[in-house]
Amino acid sequence: MAVRPKSPDFVIFFTVIVLLAIGVVMVYSSSAVSAHVNYDDGYYFLKRQLVWAALGIAAMIFTMNLDYHVWRRLSKPVIIVTLILLVLVLVPGLGKVVNGARRWLGFGSLYLQPSEIAKLSMVLFTSESLARNQDKITSFFRGLLPQLLILLVVFGLILKEPDLGTALAIGGTVFVLLFTAGAKISHLASLGLTGVAGIVVAIIVEPYRLRRLLAFSDPWADPLDSGYHIIQSLYAIGSGGLFGVGLGRSREKFLYLPEPHTDFIFAILGEELGLIGTVTVLVLFFLFAWRGLKVAIAAPDIYGSILAAGLTSMIIVQALMNIAVVTASMPVTGIPLPFLSFGGSALIFTLAGVGILLNISRYVSLK
């Protein structure tokens, strides 16, 4: 007899909605000045974020009510479509170039970022593959190598855009999936060391990445160029103190801090809402991680368990990387803060992934 699904986990749903609400408010607060200067409309980014949030919630509700086992059958078609899109975005004339990076497909004001789709599709594909080959997971060549080959292709295509931050986030998520599935620690350690070596090479061969690494070690050595982002971000967070300067009263958003509504929105939040605001956001992400892992542990089958762990880590890895960049805990690399940063593709596909996690939660009993 089939198990009748229950209501989705309230803690995950509530946490995501609160983060999304904070994000909408902070997108408006952090972007109003630049929107007025560049588009003569202080609500420019807010209106678009509201539309994308509505589409993302619709996607979350849809996937929340769709049996998660459906994605097991769709994992291969999804990864194939993703690979095609990642190739197309690199084709001159098809991919849109912004700030030297070719990451978007689309026309007019409608654009799609294939690398954001890749985050979710890699979780779906890798989870299905690991669940199907559970008996081979301790074998490097039969269990791990097939996953790594797909990861290398996706990693390479995204790195070509270039987008090292997203590539690292996907790599980190797949690493968590391999650990969850039961891969040998010795294999994971070897992969980790190899990955670090590869990242070092990727940094050395691109001068701008090397400048970012040097700026991370001493941002004040070049305060007007490579160290500028880090310095302005630290100014914003440091100015916030305990309670912040007040919502809407940031000084850094007056065209001092680059990308205040996207990659560095956490810095503006820290400036306006202080330590209280930043800790609140961190606690919300902690609640999401804790509850997502509980769903993974209690999932009714190995596929659901691996998938829930992957979806949870997909979001938490991104959040940790973004906050680490903003607080100068790692070199600058462009990656949005889930649920808070301005962006269409990232928000919609992240919320779709949350919906899948919520669907898995409908088949477990949590206390």
The confidence score (pLDDT) of residue 146 equals: 86
- CA distance linking residue 159 with residue 201, whole number of Å: 12
- CA distance linking residue 112 with residue 90, whole number of Å: 13
Residue 335 φ/ψ region, left for φ over 0, alpha for ψ in the -120 to 50 degree band, beta for the rest = beta
Give the structural domain span for 29: 10-361
The confidence score (pLDDT) of residue 321 equals: 95
- CA distance linking residue 230 with residue 237, whole number of Å: 11
Nearest CA to 80 out of 132, 150, 161, 174 is that of 150
Nearest CA to 202 out of 142, 231, 161 is that of 161
Intervals of the chain under pLDDT 70: 1-3, 100, 107-109, 367
What DSSP element (H or E) covers 95? strand 95-98
- CA distance linking residue 187 with residue 179, whole number of Å: 10
Tokens 């605001």: give the residue: 277
Q: Is residue 2 part of a domain?
A: no
The confidence score (pLDDT) of residue 167 equals: 92
- CA distance linking residue 209 with residue 192, whole number of Å: 20
Identity of the residue numbered 333: T
Number of domains the chain contains: 1
Residue 121 φ/ψ region, left for φ over 0, alpha for ψ in the -120 to 50 degree band, beta for the rest = alpha
Q: Residue-wise over 102-129: b if at least 16 C-beta within 10 A, else e?
A: bbbbeeeeeebbbbbbbbbbbbbbbbbb
CA pseudo-torsion sign 298, 300, 306, 310: negative
Q: Is residue 3 part of a domain?
A: no
The confidence score (pLDDT) of residue 203 equals: 77
Q: Is residue 335 part of a domain?
A: yes
- CA distance linking residue 1 with residue 116, whole number of Å: 38
Burial of 282 (0-12, 13-18, 19+ CB in 10 A): middle
CB 263 within 8 A of CB 341: yes
Terminal Cα distance for the chain, rounded = 24
Q: Is residue 4 part of a domain?
A: no
Cross-sheet strand order for the sheet of 101-107: 95-98, 101-107, 110-112
Q: Is residue 160 part of a domain?
A: yes
What DSSP element (H or E) covers 121? helix 114-132
How does pLDDT run across 182-200, given as a tens digit for each residue?
889 998 999 888 888 887 7
